[in-house]
């Protein structure tokens, strides 16, 4: 696998083991059928508990059955999952960074004890409801209401584009009391079998097809007081979760690009035209050289980001730079890989076009490329240019 600058030589034994076991799992259990799942628009649901057994959900958290691996090990895991398919990495990202993380960081002791072991093992599936039909890039303007009633809250509103909502047991829903604009956004754990919850599936996606996406409808849904996440108020709550998930994406996207590169290099070595392998042509070598360079740059960024996270110096803006760069890189390079496969490149028999289509979603979710540009612009100039 491409590691041109030998960054993996510095991995610890634990990090190397996690990389090897994730690669093995993906090669044996997922890769053989992923093209078919992608075409059918299904996720291999039987793997959800197996992924839990493998420790794929938030292994970087401490306690509650989690092994507390290094941030680099977590990143490497995301990379190996996305080298197979962005939908597989999304499953782990949402469950770990967007559902287990907020419970771990902001939840009560009871919530942690109840949910973390179940989510970590894959016995339960979670989803994260922030985006609304009218508020995507600007979730601060959310309309979902949470009004106090009978020692609890009544929730009304709708969330959309929610990964795994149709198969989730619990949703982390962000809402506020809309009667008072000064009331902060709060996080609620909403069991999806509560009266008034609906989770329609969104069909006909042309990207991230091996991942289930849906809505969350909330129609007078009562949740008791103990379902509120007590440890956070305001947009720092959901945005703090996004920092964790964006970190995983910055790593994951490299996996998709690397897989495209390896596929294109193998293909170019085997495929013969004009009496020999196409890899001997300078035009093809230029493509491979550029891909390898861009992937290597992204790897360096991700490894440094992990070091910053490990020692507590990582700022959300560092994550924005890595998510923005690495996803754009993967989106661009998977297209070049596709091109090198000629006609075969447009089929699901090979991974590059599947990655290329998936990466349109990855470029859009967890903050679009444009939004990360503006986050960096604000950090660099002091002027916020969102409005
Ligand atoms: P702003 O006024 O800047 O900040 C509000 C409060 O939040 C804090 N904060 C952060 N904390 C942690 N991490 C971050 N990344 C943070 N960004 C901001 C900030 O310090 C402040 O705290 P406090 O205590 O002072 O109140 O916030 P804003 O409302 O102006 O934000 C602007 C903007 C555009 C950057 C933000 O809204 C944004 O990032 N928008 C993009 C929306 C987005 O990324 N949505 C993703 C939805 S989830 C998803 O896509 C899952 S895909 C899952 C999968 O399948 O993998
Ligand atoms: P919009 O915000 O309407 O943006 C449209 C275009 O306008 C974009 O190009 C954007 O960059 C641009 N734009 C917006 N504001 C500005 C600005 N200020 N300056 C310049 N350009 C701007 N959300 C969840 O909460 N949970 C999930 O699990 C989840 N999973 C997802 C899974 C999939 C498959 C997809 C596609 C999305 C998912 N999302 C999820 C939603 C995702 O986070 C949003 O799609 C994303 O934040 C963008 O919001 P939007 O689609 O409403 O686009």
- Tell me, what's the pLDDT at 198? 98
Concatenating the DSSP letter of every residue in 143-199 gives --EEEEETTEEEEEEEEEEEETGGG-SEEEEEEB-TTSTTSPPEEEEEETTSTTEE-
Residue 344 within a domain = yes
d(CA 256, CA 241): 23
Q: What is the DSSP string of 41-57?
A: T---TTHHHHHHHTT-S
DSSP classification of residue 58: S
Residues 349-366 pLDDT 10s: 999 999 999 999 999 999
Whether the pLDDT of residue 181 is over 90: the answer is no
**In this structure, are 274 and 251 located in the same domain?**
yes
Distance 293 CA to ligand 2 centre (A): 29
CA distance 352 to 346: 8
Confidence class for position 179, pLDDT limits 50, 70, 90:
confident
Between the CA of 386 and the centroid of ligand 2 the distance, in Å, is: 14
Domain range for 93: 7-125
Q: How confident is the model at residue 71 (pLDDT cuts 50, 70, 90)?
A: very high
Reply yes or no on whether the pLDDT at 314 is more than 90: yes
Q: Is the CB of 20 under 6 A from ligand 2?
A: no
Closest CA to 335 of 256, 272, 243: 256
Instruction: Give start and end residues of each alpha helix (H) in 226-315.
Output: 236-270, 282-310
- Three-state DSSP class for 207? coil
CATH number of 151's domain: 2.40.110.10
Please state the rounded mean pLDDT for residues 99-118. 98
- SS3 of 357-374: the string is HHHHHHHHCCCCHHHHHH
* Rg of the chain (C-alpha set): 21
Task: For residues 210 and 250, state if they share a domain.
Answer: no
**Which of 71, 80, 215, 366 is an active site residue?**
366
**Whether the predicted interface score ipTM is above 0.85:** yes
Residues 87 and 30 in one domain: yes
Pocket test for ligand 1, best of 235, 241, 312, 383 (most atoms within 8 A of CB): 235
Choose the residue to mutate in 181, 239, 316 for probing ligand 1, maximizing ligand atoms within 8 Å of C-beta.
239
CA distance 167 to 184: 29
Task: State the ligand closest to the CA atom of 357.
Answer: 2
Residues 212 and 252 in one domain: no
Ligand 1, atom 12: closest residue by C-alpha: 240
What does DSSP assign to residue 165? G
Domain end, chosen from 208, 227, 246, is at 227
165 lines ligand 2 (CB under 6 A): no
CB contact set of 274 (below 8 Å; sequence gap of 6+): none
- Which pair of tokens denotes residue 173? 């829903």
The lowest-confidence range among 28-32, 147-151, 269-273, 336-340 is 147-151
pLDDT-derived band at 182, boundaries 50, 70, 90: confident
Q: Which ligand is nearest to the CA of 243?
A: 1
Answer yes or no: is 2 within a domain.
Answer: no
The CA-based dihedral angle spanning residues 146, 152, 154, 157, taken in that order and rounded to the nearest 10 degrees: 40
Our answer to whether residue 310 is catalytic in this structure is: no
Q: Would the CB of 368 count as within 6 Å of ligand 2?
A: yes
- Tell me the mean pLDDT in the region 309-316: 98
- Judge if 269 and 351 occupy the same domain: yes
213 pocket-lining for ligand 2 (C-beta < 6 Å): yes
- Token pair recorded at residue 101: 């993380």
Alpha carbon of 155 to ligand 2 centroid (Å): 23
pLDDT over 90 at 4, yes or no: yes
The pLDDT assigned to 145 comes to: 96
Over range 154-180, report the average pLDDT: 96
Beta bridge pairs of residue 154: 147, 222
Q: Are 261 and 365 in the same domain?
A: yes
Together in a domain, 206 and 245:
no
Q: How far out from the chain centre does Cα 311 lie? A: 23
- Specify whether 70 is located in the same domain as 143: no
Which of 91, 125, 159 delimits the end of a domain?
125
- Close Cβ partners of 385 (under 8 Å, ≥ 6 residues apart): 374, 377, 378
Q: Verify that 155 and 281 share a domain, yes or no.
A: no
Q: Indicate if 95 and 208 belong to the same structural domain.
A: no
- Cβ-in-10-Å burial (0-12, 13-18, 19+) of 272 comes to exposed
Nearest atom in ligand 2 to the alpha carbon of residue 368 is 11
Token duo for residue 286 = 């230029």
d(CA 116, CA 66): 9
DSSP string spanning 300-347?
HHHHHHHHHHHTT---HHHHHHHHHHHHHHHHHHHHHHHHHTGGGGGS
Task: Quote the distance between the C-alpha of residue 1 and its chain's center.
Answer: 22
Nearest CA to ligand 1 atom 37: 138
pLDDT band at residue 178 using 50, 70 and 90 as cut-offs: confident
CA 334 to ligand 1 center in whole angstroms: 28
Percent above pLDDT 90 for the chain? 98
- Look up the CATH number of the domain holding residue 66: 1.10.540.10
Q: How many domains does the chain have?
A: 3
């Amino acid at each position: 696998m491409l590691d041109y600058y030998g960054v993996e030589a510095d991995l610890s034994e634990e990090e190397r083991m996690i990389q090897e076991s994730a690669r093995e799992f993906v090669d044996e259990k997922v890769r053989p059928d992923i093209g078919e799942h992608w075409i059918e628009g299904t996720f291999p649901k039987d793997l959800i508990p197996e992924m839990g057994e493998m420790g794929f959900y938030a292994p970087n958290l401490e306690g509650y059955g989690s092994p507390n691996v290094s941030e680099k090990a977590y990143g490497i895991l995301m990379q190996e999952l996305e080298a197979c398919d962005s939908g597989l990495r999304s499953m782990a990202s949402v469950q770990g960074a967007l559902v287990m993380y907020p419970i771990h960081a902001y939840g009560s002791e009871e919530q942690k004890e109840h949910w973390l072991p179940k989510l970590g093992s894959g016995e339960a599936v979670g989803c994260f409801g922030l985006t609304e039909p009218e508020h995507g890039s600007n979730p601060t303007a959310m309309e979902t209401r949470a009004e106090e009633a009978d020692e609890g809250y009544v929730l009304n509103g709708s969330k959309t584009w929610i990964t795994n909502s149709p198969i989730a047991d619990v949703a982390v829903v962000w809402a506020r009391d809309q009667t008072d604009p000064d009331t902060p956004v709060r996080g609620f754990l909403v069991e999806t079998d509560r009266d008034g919850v609906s989770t329609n599936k969104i069909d006909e996606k042309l990207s991230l097809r091996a991942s289930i996406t849906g809505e969350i409808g909330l129609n007078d849904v009562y949740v008791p007081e103990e379902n509120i996440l007590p440890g956070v108020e305001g947009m720092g709550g959901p945005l703090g979760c996004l920092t964790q998930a964006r970190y995983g994406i910055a790593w994951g996207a490299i996996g998709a690009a690397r897989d495209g590169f390896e596929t294109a290099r193998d293909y170019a070595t085997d495929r013969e035209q004009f009496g020999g392998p196409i890899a001997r042509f300078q035009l093809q070598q230029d493509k491979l050289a550029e891909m390898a360079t861009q992937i290597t740059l992204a790897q360096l960024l991700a490894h440094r980001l992990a070091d910053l996270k490990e020692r507590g110096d990582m700022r959300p803006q560092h994550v924005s730079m890595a998510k923005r760069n690495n996803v754009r890189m993967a989106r661009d390079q998977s297209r070049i890989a596709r091109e090198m496969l000629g006609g075969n490149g447009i089929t699901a028999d090979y991974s590059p076009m599947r990655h290329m289509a998936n990466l349109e979603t990855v470029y859009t979710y967890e903050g679009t490329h444009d939004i990360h540009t503006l986050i960096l612009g604000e950090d660099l100039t002091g002027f916020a240019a969102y409005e």
